[in-house]
Structure 1
Amino acid sequence: MREFQQVDVFTSTPYLGNPVAVVLDGSGLSTEQMQRFARWTNLSESTFLLPPTTADADYRVRIFTPTTELPFAGHPTLGSCHAWLSTAPSAGDTIVQECGAGLVTIQRVDGRLAFAAPPLVRSGPVDDPLVTRIAEVLRLDREQIVDVQWVDNGPGWVAVLLADADAVLAVRPGNAENLYIGVAGPHPPGSPEAFEVRAFFPVNGTTVEDPVTGSLNASLAEWLLRTGRVTAPYVARQGTVLGRAGQVHVSTDTEGAIWIGGDTVTCVTGHVRL
């Protein structure tokens, strides 16, 4: 039996964020065993904490969707760190996570956990045929799309900017095929949140919507900040259409690094047989 937590991320209210299943001791488990458990939980991600392989890290994590292993993902990073901190009460305000993508720095920022946004591996404009295809997937007229950019920090995100938050909430996508699409639109000035965000991607031939997405918000932040469409700090809202109330806190430091933060709360504790 192994200690287990289910942590809700990007919310301080249980069951309104994005959950991640965390096995606090994954030592001795094979990849097949980890994948089987992730498939069984049927959550967007399940993680397994392991001893680090380098003295520069506090812990190592392996991250699995129901179908594959990921080198990095945002909300599993914050949820895994939250669970690890429950076993390390004397930990400082800076934690280093080892994962498939390397070392990720996590900090406590304004009482929340935040990770440093990874660099983009692809950026820049999207060619016209793909923009037309994206409009078809989102069931939008081409004229409704304000801008489109590659904002890929690993999963393959392409970002679509719409006129406002209401336009984002109205989207009812079709088959995303092999596209990972993030959609964003501004809330009115003075609103508690600056942007409404939604994330769509394919799973087993169907299009799913992610409740709250750390990696997408990290890549969106780089684009929106660089183009002057928003200033930091700001808050993005995600998950509204799914009945969630995710809040992603975006900030920058004096060196220009972007930090993606959120509240985390444990919803389930216990043990699992693996």
Structure 2
Amino acid sequence: MQRRFIQCDVFSPLATRGNGLAVVLDGEGLSDEAMQRFAAWTQLAETTFLLPPQDPDADYRLRIFTTTRELPFAGHPTLGSCMSWLHAGGVPRTPGLVRQECGVGLVEVDVSAERPAFVAPPTRIEPLEEAVLASALRALRIDPADVVASARLVNGPVWEFIELRDADAVLRADASGASFPQERAIGLLGAYPPGGEADFEVRMIDIWHGVKEDPITGSLNAAIARWLKADGRLVAPYVAAQGRAIGRHGRVHVRPRGEDVLVGGDVTVLIEGVLDF
């Protein structure tokens, strides 16, 4: 069967310097096994499949797969899939607002501004146990004196989040050779001096029998933004840079809106065509 397909680059103003995403626009009729097999074949961080919505308020339903498993929510797949759907002719029920149905429920994407931005889903904030924090610091060769705050953040994915004293401390973190008996996703945040292009540097390092660093992570940035808001520190828009440590140029634009937090970025469609799949 022929299915429409788009590959796009997300969260960077520079094409091919963000996070790549494969989007199958006609996912109806594919089995879970077929979706997972295709996602593994693409070798991208995530591959998504658009389906007719089950929720009457949604514009479409989205399933998100890594190379090994399905995710209830992820940030760059949300923005990339939304913009791919619009690029392919999708028309939202509400002008300027796309409602995406996924594993965490309905996620709203504001497409009325310069950059699309999704409403960050609710985030559970918990203390990060001292032993867990200490093992993360050892794995990343971080000086405990550089730690400002830590927390476990849950917004679908589970993040071991550590705020460091500045962006340089984030960029110095080194996980080469680290491993854990189970998968652990560690998120880092550090501020740049005022007046620069970006306000923060973010890194997401996934460690499990090896090290994998994500170029740009929308769901982690969304969780961090929710944490900053809960801490009373999200009072104005900011820009987070991510990917510098691995040669990418990610820019995540965060802004508060009442009780909501919007997480946005640029999306570039690079490839479109038809799959015989």
Bin the TM-score by the shorter chain: over 0.9
Letter of the aligned partner of 1:30 in structure 2?
A: S
The CA distance in 2 between the partners of 1:182 and 1:147, in whole Å, is 12
Moved more, 103-112 or 26-35: 103-112
Deviation at 1:54, TM superposition (A): 2.4
Name the residue aligned to 1:197: 202
Deviation at 1:35, TM superposition (A): 0.5
The CA distance in 2 between the partners of 1:26 and 1:226, in whole Å, is 37
Deviation at 1:207, TM superposition (A): 1.8
Name the residue aligned to 1:213: 217
- Residues 13 and 251 in structure 2, CA contact (< 8 A), matched pair in contact too: no
> Structure 1: which 5+ residue stretches go unaligned?
none
Selected match of 1:236 from 220, 236, 240? 240
The CA distance in 2 between the partners of 1:140 and 1:242, in whole Å, is 18
Deviation at 1:42, TM superposition (A): 0.8
The CA distance in 1 between the partners of 2:72 and 2:267, in whole Å, is 21
Question: 1:67/1:90 Cα in 2 relative to 1: closer, same or farther (>3 Å)?
Answer: closer
> Structure 2: which 5+ residue stretches go unaligned?
none
Name the residue aligned to 2:160: 158
Deviation at 1:87, TM superposition (A): 2.5
Structure 2 residue matching 1:112: 3-state secondary structure: coil
Structure 1 residue 246 and structure 2 residue 250: aligned?
A: yes
Selected match of 1:106 from 104, 109, 114? 109
Letter of the aligned partner of 1:193 in structure 2?
A: A
The CA distance in 2 between the partners of 1:40 and 1:232, in whole Å, is 41
Name the residue aligned to 2:87: 86
Alignment TM-score, normalising by the size of structure 1: 0.94
The CA distance in 1 between the partners of 2:244 and 2:99, in whole Å, is 31
Deviation string for 1:112-171 (max 9, x for gaps)? 1111111113x1322221121111111122222222111221211021111111111111
Structure 2 residue matching 1:244: 3-state secondary structure: coil
The CA distance in 1 between the partners of 2:152 and 2:62, in whole Å, is 28
Alignment TM-score, normalising by the size of structure 2: 0.93
Moved more, 81-90 or 147-156: 81-90
Deviation at 1:228, TM superposition (A): 4.3
The CA distance in 2 between the partners of 1:104 and 1:225, in whole Å, is 19
The CA distance in 2 between the partners of 1:90 and 1:133, in whole Å, is 48
Name the residue aligned to 1:24: 25
Moved more, 137-146 or 60-69: 137-146
Letter of the aligned partner of 1:214 in structure 2?
A: G
Structure 1 residue 179 and structure 2 residue 149: aligned?
A: no
The percentage of aligned residue pairs carrying the same residue is: 47
How many aligned residue pairs are there? 271
- Residues 152 and 158 in structure 1, CA contact (< 8 A), matched pair in contact too: no
Deviation string for 1:229-262 (max 9, x for gaps)? 5532000000111111111000111x32101011
Structure 1 residue 225 and structure 2 residue 229: aligned?
A: yes
